[in-house]
Amino acid sequence: MFCQAGRFAAWRHAFLAIAPFCFLALISADAAFAAPAETAADRPTGPNVLFIAVDDLRPELGCYGHDYMHTPNIDRLAAQGTLFNRAYCQQALCNPSRASLMTGLRPDSTEVHDLRRHFRLAVPDVVTLAQHFKQHGYHAQAISKIYHAGLEDPASWNVPQMRPQAPIYIDPKIREDIRKRREALESQGIATTRGPDRKDPVTGMTLELSTRKRTPVHGPSWEAPDVADNVLTDGKTADRIIELMRECKAENKPFFLGCGFLKPHLPFVAPKRYFDLYPLEDVKLPDNRFNPKNVPQMALHNSGEFRVYSDIPDEGPIPDDRLRDALRAYRACVSYIDAQVGRLLDELDRLGLREDTVVVLWGDHGWHLGEQDLWGKMTNFEIATRVPMIISAPGQSHAGVKTDALSEFVDIYPTLCELCGLPTPEHLEGTSLVPVMNSPDRTWKNAAFSQYPRPGNFPLESRIQHMGYSMRTDRYRYTQWRDWKTGEVVARELYDYQDDPEGNVNVADDPKNAELVKQLA
């Protein structure tokens, strides 16, 4: 594993070295947007941070050019800030992606590639983004999902992270059916729940989730209950964040508040009124519902994340009517979350905090909704790795601007440090995006990097056989699949987005691209 990490780092650094500019020079020469440096007093002088994470949100939003989406509040945030049109996660899976963003380290540095391991197994003393703000006088608190569920990080927050309790499904018939099926499996000796987790013997913190084989029981992939927003978890999360903003305002307390929304993660459950925004007859499935031509099999998966739900077949073709239902439900969930974002922005305005608060909104990875004949995340394709990312800061001179500068989740940590006038930790592997926010059209980094292991949709660190390392440049995506033990390249992919905007044809083996592949490799 360490051998592989070194190879990837060397490849990444060598490629970036050919860029005709210097990041350090850009940053030092472009401090116009930086907050004043922290004083010796305990109280920070920089702005607050409202840090909004949205699970499984892809950049299919009105502000990203998808005018059929009803997202007026996220669009409003984009109009007040910088929209990063080509932002990429470091791995298209919740735990690795969030660990990289919060530590500022790439997956091979955190050694987090699955849903089981805590990053503190590999980097026990790393100071996370929220922890850094806490150490510099901010009240740091999180509601719901900032880190992957079950792998929270107590050191990051002033008070323990909490998730409001609400049912996953509202219909009692669905809940009863799940209960009966779970009991039937358990009666046969088949585990349906996770076993004991590995804990830190001193602190009791979970270091690794159980790897016990189990058969989880799911209901349908979607539900449209006719309920108020705060009957469901995300509405309750917004309620609690609003309460915290009011408390911090009343106590004159600078804050870093993490707001983790669960939808549009499966199951796609949102109040009925959001489904009504998307008439079923208007829902169209994507045109490229086929695997890319010449694609290596290890680049694909069986949409297992989607197929575990009771209304979706375990294997084989999925009927189009069920796919349209699911696509509509995903969009309804996005609009439900958009409404919660609107409530938070409205409260910032009401409290008079908007001009003293940096607002960051990000989705932890993309999500295939039929493109490449895939449903779910867990690939190195553009659909899975490209993410929504919007940053709005007080005094921003270029508000409402969309930039095509390549950016990555590891860039968020140093960006917030600079915006809030905090020192930037030396361990960070990303670069502040403040120069881009000051000058959205400027020349910037020439590649963004992601990776994904195989086999399996949900990989286990101990069972990794291959790692796909993927590089997105202005025009191309180049991916090389390496044997995890030997480092041998066993497969390659190259997608030319100028000639093939959807990435439907792998042209890595085309003789005319031999020199290009050699350069990218």
* Residue 179 contacts residue 195 (beta carbons within 8 Å): no
Q: What is the mean pLDDT of residues 79-93?
A: 98
Query: Structural domain tally of the chain?
Result: 2
Please give the model's pTM, rounded to 2 decimal places.
0.93
Average pLDDT on 467-490 reads 97
Find all residues with CB under 8 Å of 460, minimum gap 6, and list them: 114, 116, 211
Average confidence score pLDDT of the chain: 92
Q: Are residues 230 and 329 in the same domain?
A: yes
Q: Which H, E and C letters describe 196-248, residue by residue?
A: CCEECCCCCCEEECCCCCCCCCCCCCEECCCCCHHHCHHHHHHHHHHHHHHHH
**What pLDDT, on a 0 to 100 scale, did the predictor assign at position 214?**
85
Does residue 25 form part of some domain? no
Q: What is the pLDDT of residue 202?
A: 86
| Interval 317-328 mean pLDDT | 98
State the CATH number of the domain containing residue 446.
3.40.720.10
375 with 461, same domain? yes
Structure tokens at 441: 């059209």
Higher pLDDT residue, 8 or 415? 415
Residue range 87-128, pLDDT digits in tens: 999 999 999 999 999 999 999 999 999 999 999 999 999 999
Q: Is 345 in the same domain as 468?
A: yes
Q: For residues 499 and 476, is the Cβ–Cβ distance under 8 A?
A: no
- What is the dihedral sign for C-alpha 380, 128, 406, 53? positive
> Which is more confident, 206 or 213?
206
Per-residue pLDDT of 427-477, as tens digits, reads: 999 999 999 999 999 989 999 999 999 987 778 888 999 999 999 999 999
Given a contact cutoff of 8 angstroms between Cβ atoms, the answer to whether 73 and 338 are in contact is: yes
Q: Are residues 430 and 464 in the same domain?
A: yes
Asked if residue 323 and residue 188 are part of one domain, the reply reads no
Are 205 and 189 within one domain? yes
- DSSP at 113: -
Classify residue 464: in a domain, yes or no. Answer: yes
Let me know if residue 33 belongs to a domain.
Answer: no
Q: Is 190 helix (H, G, I), strand (E, B) or coil?
A: coil
- Same domain? For 204 and 224 the reply is no
Cis-peptide, bond into residue 425, ω within 30° of zero? no
276 with 391, same domain: the answer is: yes
The Cα–Cα gap between 122 and 214 comes to 26
Q: State how far the Cα of 382 lies from the Cα of 97, in Å rounded to an integer.
A: 15
187 has pLDDT over 50: yes
Going from the C-alpha of 129 to that of each of 47, 51, 357, 361, 410, the distances in angstroms are 15, 11, 16, 15, 10
Question: Above 60 in pLDDT, residue 478?
Answer: yes
**Closest to 103 in 3D by CA, of 78, 132, 83, 82:** 132
Q: Is residue 39 in some structural domain?
A: no
Active site amino acids: 94, 148
* Any domain includes 65: yes
Quick check: 35 pLDDT over 70? no
Question: Averaged over 142-147, what is the pLDDT?
Answer: 98
**pLDDT tens for each residue of 215-230:** 999 999 999 999 999 9
**Rounded Cα–Cα distance for residues 298 and 300 (Å):** 5
Note down the domain range covering 287. 2-17+52-167+219-520
Look at residues 153, 183, 218 and tell me which one is the last residue of a structural domain: 218
- Please tell me whether residue 408 adopts helix, strand or coil conformation: strand
| 3 state SS of 403 | strand
Confidence bin at 36 (pLDDT 50/70/90): very low
Look at residue 26 and tell me if it is in a domain: no
124 in a structural domain: yes
Cα dist. 333→277, 330, 404, 495 in Å? 11, 5, 27, 31
Sheet holding 476-483, edge to edge: 448-454, 466-472, 476-483, 489-496
H-state helical runs in 386-485: 412-419, 434-438
Do 177 and 291 lie in one domain? The reply is: no
- Cα 293 to Cα 299: distance, rounded to the nearest angstrom: 12
Band (pLDDT 50/70/90 cuts) for residue 26 is: very low
Encode pLDDT of 268-294 as tens digits.
Answer: 999 999 999 999 999 999 999 999 999
- Selection from 19-28, 240-249, 456-465 with the highest mean pLDDT: 240-249
Is residue 327 a part of any domain in this protein? yes
**Statement to judge: residues 213 and 225 lie in one domain:** no
Q: Does 264 lie in the same domain as 193?
A: no
pLDDT of residue 16 exceeding 60, the answer is no
Q: Same structural domain for residues 197 and 76?
A: no
